[in-house]
């Protein structure tokens, strides 16, 4: 297993090219936290807070949304057609080269 | 008026366990929580989720963990103020803290433990610029008294169970109910979704999907909302009330204004010693605190609670000596007069 590369555009528009391990059972939310990007991950990854909402910019084929993710996105703000919850996207080799953008923080 | 030794703000697992450790030192505790039942997130958000990293429990449901903690602390007769949020804190001349809730309940204690987790659960507010200006002037996040909406025109937004259920309920009360949702699909209970579809057909609910409320207009009170529709553009909908129902999210809330040192939504504590905050007598334990290397784990919170209680003892009983005791040796002597202890027997002669 090797690392993959994921590009994440933060809320200031800065693009971070991150090396992500595929063998640590991590997801995109955890990757952001590991690199200290401003993602709260309030619920710990249970698809219950949408603080890790991101927009998928590249045309990677992603696993379909499960009910919990759909439910949460229904209650989230700034949701677009390409919105996903980072915590529901496991880091796998298929995601190599993925480009995403962090959604705005929903609460001030 | 409630008086205690340690006033614990937040009745989650960590706050609850602090009661046990305090009880071993003969200290009384009282817990305040904004939720109606103890257990914090474990009871409110994920009672049926298994937790695997509680020592000696290979697997325990969050709800069962709370039930067990409640059982464990019962002998120490904790008091509870539930369904109320700790609002203000004041240090009195004699050093006692006075904490008053949003409902006016007064609590007095020489030490305060903040075990508030991620904060108290508050309605999630959609990002609409004018929203705050219209709070209680036609914008409500919680429906307390449905009669308020009798013969009024109501716009509800959201796609979950509460948006569906209240739309159904208010369709018999209000003169007009509009339900605005971002998608053409609802993810609530099937019964509710079908009922809303039915009421929409019969004209009792005005269903506006593929749309979001983006603005509020009015002179001192809500008079209309601006709805942005995916294909039809902007729609102005006249109404008397706008009720956004987007669930709850945790907020540090009033605690953030108590003069505590805050970093990234958490309270800075001295982890090298006692988990005290910058205000002597106030400690912060569990997910609500932060320090270098902090891990937001229940098991770390248990440790923090245990340490903090020892130092609270010194504040409550200045100069009084004691040593930490093992429950295996001394058992547990509750305030209720019950004593639990191992039977004395010679296990093996040396």
pLDDT of residue A52: 96
pLDDT of residue A108: 43
pLDDT of residue B113: 98
Query: Which domains are present in chain B?
Result: 2-121+249-340 (3.50.50.60), 131-246 (3.50.50.60)
pLDDT at A73 over 70: yes
- Residue A77's closest chain B neighbor by CA? B126
Q: Which residues in chain A have their CB less than 8 angstroms from residue B181's CB?
A: 74
- Each residue's pLDDT tens digit, B55-68: 999 999 999 999 99
CB contact under 8 A, B127 and A70: no
CA gap B113, B184 in Å, rounded: 46
CA gap B270, B274 in Å, rounded: 6
- Residue B188's closest chain A neighbor by CA? A71
Q: How confident is the model at residue A74 (pLDDT cuts 50, 70, 90)?
A: confident
| Cβ B55 vs Cβ B104: under 8 Å | no
- Each residue's pLDDT tens digit, B299-328: 999 999 999 999 999 999 999 998 888 999
CB-based burial label for A46 (10 Å; 0-12, 13-18, 19+): middle
* Percent of chain B topping pLDDT 90: 83
**Tokens 């008079």 belong to residue:** B223
Sign of torsion over alpha carbons B111, B71, B14, B38: negative
- Residue A48's closest chain B neighbor by CA? B45
CA gap B281, B91 in Å, rounded: 10
Minimum distance, in Å, between the CA of residue B126 and any CA atom of chain A = 6
Minimum distance, in Å, between the CA of residue A29 and any CA atom of chain B = 16
- Each residue's pLDDT tens digit, B331-350: 999 998 889 888 777 667 77
What DSSP designation does B276 have? B
Q: Is residue A40 part of a domain?
A: yes
Chain A interface disruption, residue of B49, B50, B182, most A CBs within 10 A: B182
pLDDT of residue B289: 97
Q: How confident is the model at residue B183 (pLDDT cuts 50, 70, 90)?
A: confident
CA gap B95, B111 in Å, rounded: 9
Q: Is residue A107 part of a domain?
A: no
3-state helix, strand, coil in chain A (%, to 5): 20, 25, 55
Average pLDDT rounded to a whole number, residues B130-137: 95
- Residue A104's closest chain B neighbor by CA? B127
Using CA atoms in the order A14, A15, A21, A27, what is the torsion angle rounded to 10 degrees? 70
Q: Which residues in chain A have their CB less than 8 angstroms from residue B249's CB?
A: 42, 49, 107
Q: Which residues in chain A have their CB less than 8 angstroms from residue B127's CB?
A: 77-78, 104, 106
Minimum distance, in Å, between the CA of residue B124 and any CA atom of chain A = 8
pLDDT of residue B185: 85
pLDDT at A107 over 90: no
CA gap B181, B210 in Å, rounded: 6
Q: Which domain holds residue A45?
A: 3-102
- Each residue's pLDDT tens digit, A24-70: 999 999 999 999 999 988 888 989 889 999 999 999 999 999 988 98
pLDDT at A89 over 60: yes
Q: Which residues pair with A4 in a beta bridge?
A: A20
CATH number of the domain encompassing residue A42:
3.10.20.30
Q: Is residue A108 part of a domain?
A: no
pLDDT at B187 over 70: yes
What is the radius of gyration, based on Cα positions, of chain A? 13
Of B127, B247, B250, the CB nearest to A75: B247
Residues listed for chain A: 108
Buried b / exposed e along A79-94 (16+ C-beta atoms within 10 A): beeebbbbbbbebeee
Count how many domains chain A has: 1
């Amino acid at each position: 297993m090797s690392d993959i590369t994921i590009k994440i555009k933060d809320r200031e528009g800065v693009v971070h090219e991150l090396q992500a391990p595929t063998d640590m059972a991590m997801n995109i939310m955890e990757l952001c936290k590991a690199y200290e990007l401003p993602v709260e991950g309030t619920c710990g990854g249970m698809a219950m807070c949408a603080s890790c909402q991101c927009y998928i910019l590249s045309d990677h084929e992603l696993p379909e949304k499960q009910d919990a993710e759909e439910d949460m996105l229904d209650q989230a703000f700034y949701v677009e057609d390409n919105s996903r919850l980072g915590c529901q996207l496991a880091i796998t080799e298929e995601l190599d080269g993925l480009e995403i953008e962090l959604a705005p923080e929903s609460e001030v | 008026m409630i008086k205690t030794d340690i006033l614990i703000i937040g009745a989650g697992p960590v706050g609850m366990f602090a009661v046990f450790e305090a009880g071993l030192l003969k200290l009384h505790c009282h817990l305040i929580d904004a939720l109606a039942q103890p257990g914090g997130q474990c009871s409110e958000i994920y009672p049926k989720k298994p937790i695997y990293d509680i020592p000696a429990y290979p697997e325990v449901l969050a709800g069962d963990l709370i039930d067990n903690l409640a059982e464990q602390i019962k002998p120490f007769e904790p008091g509870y103020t539930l369904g109320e949020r700790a609002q203000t804190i004041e240090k009195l001349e004699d050093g006692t803290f006075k904490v008053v809730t949003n409902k006016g309940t007064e609590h007095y204690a020489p030490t305060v433990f903040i075990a508030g987790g991620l904060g108290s659960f508050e309605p999630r507010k959609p990002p609409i610029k004018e929203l705050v200006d219209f709070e209680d002037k036609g914008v409500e996040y919680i429906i307390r008294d449905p009669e308020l909406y009798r013969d009024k025109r109501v716009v509800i937004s959201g796609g979950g169970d509460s948006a569906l259920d209240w739309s159904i309920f208010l369709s018999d009360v209000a003169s007009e109910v509009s339900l605005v949702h971002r998608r053409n699909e609802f993810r609530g209970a099937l019964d509710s979704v079908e009922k809303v579809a039915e009421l929409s057909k019969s004209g009792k609910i005005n269903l506006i999907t593929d749309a979001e409320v983006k603005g509020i207009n009015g002179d001192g009170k809500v008079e209309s909302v601006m709805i942005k529709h995916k294909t039809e553009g902007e729609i102005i909908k006249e109404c008397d009330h706008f009720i956004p129902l987007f669930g709850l999210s945790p907020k540090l809330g009033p605690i953030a204004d108590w003069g505590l040192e805050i970093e990234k939504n958490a309270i800075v504590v001295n982890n090298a010693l006692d988990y005290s905050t910058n205000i002597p007598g106030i400690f912060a334990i569990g997910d609500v605190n932060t320090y270098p290397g902090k891990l937001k784990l229940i098991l770390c919170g248990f440790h923090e609670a245990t340490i903090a209680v020892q130092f609270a003892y010194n504040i409550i009983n200045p100069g009084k000596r004691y040593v930490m005791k093992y429950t295996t040796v001394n058992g547990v002597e509750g305030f209720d007069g019950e004593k639990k202890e191992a039977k004395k027997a010679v296990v093996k002669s040396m």
